[in-house]
C-alpha cells in the first residue's frame, strides 16, 4: 500500500512539474471588412494576424525567450483609420496558463476566449 501511495505522489509531482508549455495557439477569426491586422504579444515575442474578412488564421505565440516572470498579453488592432491597444490575460513564471486563445474580431467588438490546461 505504501509503495502504491508513494508511486502516485511521485507521479503527481512529476507530472505537475513537467507542464511547461512553450507556446500558445492563437486562433483568429476576422468578421469585419475594416481590419488591417491584429498583433498579440507576450512582451518578448509577437504574432501578426492578417486574416481577410470571414476567414480564420492560426499561429503559435512562442514563450521560449520569455523571462521567468509574470506578465500579460498585449493586443494591438489596426483598422482603416484607427489603432486600438489593450492588455489581456495573464501568464506566470514565463509560462502561459492557456493552450489556446480564440480571438473573434467584429467591426465594433473583439471577443477573446482562452482554453486553459486542465
Residue 102 sits in a domain whose CATH number is 2.60.40.2890
Residue 88 is assigned to a structural domain of this protein: yes
CB atoms within 10 A of CB 35: 21
Q: Looking at the 3D structure of the chain, how many domains does it have?
A: 1
Give the single-character DSSP code of 117.
-
Residue 8: predicted pLDDT: 54
Tell me how far apart the alpha carbons of residues 98 and 93 are, in angstroms, rounded to a whole number: 13
Give the single-character DSSP code of 8.
H
What nine digits make up the cell of 22? 512553450
Give the single-character DSSP code of 51.
P
Tell me how far apart the alpha carbons of residues 97 and 106 are, in angstroms, rounded to a whole number: 26
Residue 39 is assigned to a structural domain of this protein: yes
Residue 6 is assigned to a structural domain of this protein: no
Residue 3 is assigned to a structural domain of this protein: no
Residue 108 is assigned to a structural domain of this protein: yes
Indicate whether this model's pTM tops 0.95. Answer: no
Handedness of CA 111, 31, 100, 84 (dihedral sign): negative
Tell me how far apart the alpha carbons of residues 91 and 104 are, in angstroms, rounded to a whole number: 21
Domain that holds residue 85: 23-116
First vs last C-alpha separation in the chain? 28
Mind listing the pLDDT tens digit of every residue in the chain (118 residues)? 666 555 555 545 444 555 678 999 999 999 999 999 999 999 999 999 999 999 999 999 999 999 999 999 999 999 999 999 999 999 999 999 999 999 999 988 999 999 988 7
Residue 13 is assigned to a structural domain of this protein: no
Residue 69 is assigned to a structural domain of this protein: yes
Amino acid at each position: 500500500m505504501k509503495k502504491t501511495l508513494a508511486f502516485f505522489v511521485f507521479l503527481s509531482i512529476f507530472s505537475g512539474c513537467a507542464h511547461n508549455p512553450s507556446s500558445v495557439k492563437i486562433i483568429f477569426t476576422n468578421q469585419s471588412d475594416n481590419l488591417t491586422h491584429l498583433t498579440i504579444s507576450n512582451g518578448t515575442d509577437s504574432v501578426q494576424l492578417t486574416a481577410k474578412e470571414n476567414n480564420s488564421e492560426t499561429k503559435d505565440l512562442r514563450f521560449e525567450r520569455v523571462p521567468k516572470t509574470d506578465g500579460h498579453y498585449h493586443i494591438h488592432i489596426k483598422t482603416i483609420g484607427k489603432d486600438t491597444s489593450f492588455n489581456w490575460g495573464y501568464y506566470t513564471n514565463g509560462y502561459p496558463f492557456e493552450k489556446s486563445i480564440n480571438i473573434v474580431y467584429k467591426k465594433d467588438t473583439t471577443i477573446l476566449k482562452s482554453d486553459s490546461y486542465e
